[in-house]
Amino acid sequence: MVWKNQYTLCLYTFDDNDQLNELVCDLSISDMKNDKCSVVVDPYSPNVLYANIINEGISTSYISFDNGKRFIPIELENQRSKCFQINCIIELDLVCSNDLIQNHFPEKSVVIFQEKSKCKKSKDCQHMFISFNGGKIWKMVNYDFENIKIINGGSLMVAAEKSTGKFWYSYTMGTKWYKIGWWWWYRIIDIEPLESANNQIIATINYHELTGVPSIFIYDFTKALGNYV
């Protein structure tokens, strides 16, 4: 990235003659803070770029599948969704920390980013966006989830609810979610898949809010998952 002037940040690449070629300008300057980036490269597909670009004064997320030659807006799976009805503008939270691959590219073709939608007819709404085909089509998921783990390309997804610490799972690539009964004072602090050739085990690391005592709960999705795969 290169500053074209004191107000304009641009993305460049080198051509065969080692000359700089401009790919896109008006990158979001606010993303250059706190482990945030204006541009993120898919570690599994280096030709795929995500960029927050200022468009008519508003930062909006775009994706390029040809190494920056052409950027297009993020596309949701169902264009009749609430976000499209109220004309939302999608701006992904492009975090480029050391945990980039683990948090945002957990498997090849699987991409996860949190986002803040600027909804014109309601107050700001926050969501999480997931793609299972390398960024071509996206699903909007309840932002209140954290510690989302995606197993086997989305055939099983598990997550903790931020506000309550409850445990949720999905067999439908995030379309429908189900909650497992939970003791009120226990909160999930981490989720770890314990996969093997014949078993699909999920472990949650928890703590008790009153006693502070940690615990580990084990969930076996092997038989249930077999009915959906």
| For residue 87, pLDDT beyond 60 | no
Residue range 204-215: mean pLDDT, rounded: 83
Residue range 65-73: mean pLDDT, rounded: 90
User: Does one domain contain both 198 and 158?
Assistant: yes
Backbone φ and ψ for 3, nearest 5 degrees, come out as -80, 115
User: Does one domain contain both 84 and 114?
Assistant: yes
| For residue 26, pLDDT beyond 90 | no
Which of 105, 120, 142 delimits the end of a domain? 142
Q: d(Cα 63, Cα 71) in Å, to the nearest integer?
A: 5
pLDDT the model gives residue 183:
63
Domain residue limits at 168: 144-228
> 182 or 97, which is more confident?
97
The number of helices, as runs of H, and strands, as runs of E, in the chain is 3, 17
User: Does one domain contain both 134 and 149?
Assistant: no
User: Does one domain contain both 149 and 189?
Assistant: yes
User: Does one domain contain both 151 and 132?
Assistant: no
pLDDT the model gives residue 145:
82
pLDDT the model gives residue 143:
61
| For residue 35, pLDDT beyond 60 | yes
Digit-coded pLDDT (tens) for 110-155: 998 887 655 444 444 567 889 999 999 888 886 678 888 888 778 8
Residue range 50-61: mean pLDDT, rounded: 84
User: Does one domain contain both 22 and 59?
Assistant: yes
- Measured CA to CA in angstroms, residue 64 lies from 107, 153, 212 at distances of 19, 22, 47
Q: d(Cα 73, Cα 53) in Å, to the nearest integer?
A: 10
| For residue 196, pLDDT beyond 50 | yes
pLDDT band per the 50, 70, 90 thresholds, residue 34: low
User: Does one domain contain both 111 and 76?
Assistant: yes
Question: Per the structure, how many domains does the chain have?
Answer: 2
User: Does one domain contain both 154 and 130?
Assistant: no
pLDDT the model gives residue 228:
37
User: Does one domain contain both 151 and 58?
Assistant: no
Q: What is the percent of the chain where pLDDT is above 90?
A: 7
User: Does one domain contain both 198 and 97?
Assistant: no
Q: d(Cα 10, Cα 28) in Å, to the nearest integer?
A: 9
User: Does one domain contain both 120 and 156?
Assistant: no
pLDDT the model gives residue 124:
45
> 70 or 144, which is more confident?
70
Residue range 190-196: mean pLDDT, rounded: 81
Q: d(Cα 152, Cα 155) in Å, to the nearest integer?
A: 6
Q: d(Cα 13, Cα 15) in Å, to the nearest integer?
A: 7
Q: d(Cα 210, Cα 217) in Å, to the nearest integer?
A: 18
Global pTM?
0.75
Which of 112, 142, 172 delimits the end of a domain? 142
pLDDT the model gives residue 31:
60
User: Does one domain contain both 76 and 186?
Assistant: no
Whole-number average pLDDT of the chain: 78
Which of 142, 170, 203 delimits the end of a domain? 142
